[in-house]
Amino acid sequence: MLTKTTLAKTFPYFSLLLGFVIFQPIVVFAGENIYELVYRFKEGEQLRWKVMQQLRVKTSMEEKTEVVDTISTSTKLWTVTEVDAEGIATIVHQVEEVDMHRKQTGFPDSSYNSKTDQETPVEYEQVSKSINTPLLKLRIAPNGELLSRTPLVPYSLGTLDSKILIQLPKEKVKIGETWKIPEEAALPQPNGTVKKVRLQKIYTLNSVKNDLAVISYKTERLSPVEEPQLEIQLFDKLVSGYVELDLETGHILNQQTDVKGYVLGFEGENSSIDHVARLKEELKK
């Protein structure tokens, strides 16, 4: 039977998430359906999101199957501490509250609510210590490029932490137009080396209606990966999703990120892993 330790090494079952920052209103050029997408921040402002995450991992080995289901709801706070002359913003990320639930085959269910629980279960102690504590300092360019990410306390990024901040085009775009951002994934191998895999994010401005812009995105793999263990590491990098943007306020109203991965033969020909995750965020007004 698979052990709790085995799965814990393979998949983090909760994450304190980063997320989308705000947009200032998209500029529409007179007489043209062309839009300029730009991030702008105001020093001193605080932005909160309701973050909902679901993760299901089904692992089969030697005719035994184990399923882990996790669900978490949290409130994420971003505080803009500085905006320089070039529009580069410094943002402090923290989590104000969490409500977490976990089910695993062969183990008792577990949960933790930071607002109501008087005692913290052992498996959630690190999470508890992270609540209402500045976790990361981010520097973000006006086009959304993440210039730096500095941990303020010992902090392990979760499943989708580094996939949520979409990068905007430097040029104006029309409805239906796409822009592409190259990426590279560094995958540690058993022999101690690192395999680099080229990826590409493809973004599309799908529609603008009643001041609501919808941007969708997906990830393409440009380098071949044949080893099942490396395929597993790619699960959380091959994301897709969408963003709903209010053009009047310039804020992200909703966003969703999805991860789906399935691998056969990662530890013997009869082994398999089915990994499905979804992240949703809603701006709190």
Q: Residue 96: helix, strand or coil by DSSP?
A: strand
pLDDT value for 162: 45
User: Of the ranges 2-11, 153-162, 201-210, which one carries the lowest mean pLDDT score?
Assistant: 2-11
pTM for the whole structure: 0.83
In this prediction, residue 92 has a pLDDT band, given cuts at 50, 70 and 90, of very high
Band of pLDDT at residue 165, cut at 50, 70 and 90: confident
269: left (phi over 0), alpha (psi -120 to 50) or beta: alpha
Beta bridge partners of 260: 276
Question: For residues 35 and 211, what is the distance between their CA atoms, to the nearest angstrom?
Answer: 12
Q: What is the mean pLDDT of residues 30-50?
A: 81
Vertex 35 angle, CA 215 and 148, to 5°: 65
- pLDDT band with cut points at 50, 70 and 90 for residue 93: very high
Q: What is the pLDDT of residue 249?
A: 66
**Statement: residue 3 has pLDDT above 50:** no
pLDDT bin (cut points 50, 70, 90) of residue 156 is: low
Domains: count for the chain: 1
Find, among 259, 87, 76, 254, the residue nearest to 160 by Cα. Answer: 259
The predicted structure's pLDDT at residue 167 = 86
Token pair for 174? 């029309």
| pLDDT at residue 10 greater than cutoff 80 | no
Residues 6+ apart with CB under 8 A from 247: 25, 26, 28, 208, 211, 212, 213
Under the banding of pLDDT at 50, 70 and 90, the label for residue 23 is very low
pLDDT at 32: 63
- CA angle centred on 225, ends 7 and 193, rounded to 5°: 75
pLDDT at position 193: 93
- Does position 94 have pLDDT exceeding 80, yes or no? yes
Q: Rounded distance, CA 243 to CA 201, Å?
A: 14
Q: How far is CA 139 from CA 91, 92, 148, 198, 209, in A?
A: 6, 9, 5, 24, 32
- 28: pLDDT strictly greater than 80: no
Going by DSSP bridges, is the β-strand pair 178-188/89-104 parallel, antiparallel, or unpaired? unpaired
Q: What is the distance, to the nearest Å, from the Cα of residue 198 to the centroid of all Cα atoms in its chain?
A: 19
**Exposed/middle/buried for residue 266 (C-beta within 10 Å: 0-12, 13-18, 19+):** middle
Give the pairing type, strands 64-83 and 89-104: antiparallel
What tokens were used for 30?
A: 């007179």
* pLDDT tens for each residue of 175-190: 999 999 999 999 998 8
Cβ neighbours of residue 60 closer than 8 Å, sequence gap 6 or more? 66, 270, 271, 272, 273
Of the given ranges (25-34, 92-101, 192-201, 241-250), which has the lowest mean pLDDT?
Answer: 25-34
* Percent above pLDDT 70 for the chain: 84
CATH number for the domain spanning 116: value is 2.30.230
Q: What is the mean pLDDT of residues 31-51?
A: 83
Percent of the chain clearing pLDDT 90 (strictly above): 59
Give residue 166's pLDDT.
Answer: 82
Q: Is the pLDDT of residue 21 over 50?
A: no
Strand pairing category for 212-221 and 89-104: unpaired
How many other CB atoms are found less than 10 A from the CB of residue 207?
A: 12
pLDDT of residue 9: 41
Sign of the torsion formed by the C-alpha atoms of 88, 92, 95 and 96: negative
Distance separating alpha carbons of residues 69 and 87, to the nearest angstrom? 41
For 135, the domain range is 4-283
Q: What is the mean pLDDT of the chain?
A: 84
Cα(118)–Cα(116) distance, integer angstroms: 6
Label residue 49 by pLDDT band (50, 70, 90).
very high
pLDDT for the residue 195: 93
The SS3 call for residue 214 is strand
Q: Which carries the bigger pLDDT value, residue 272 or residue 252?
A: 272
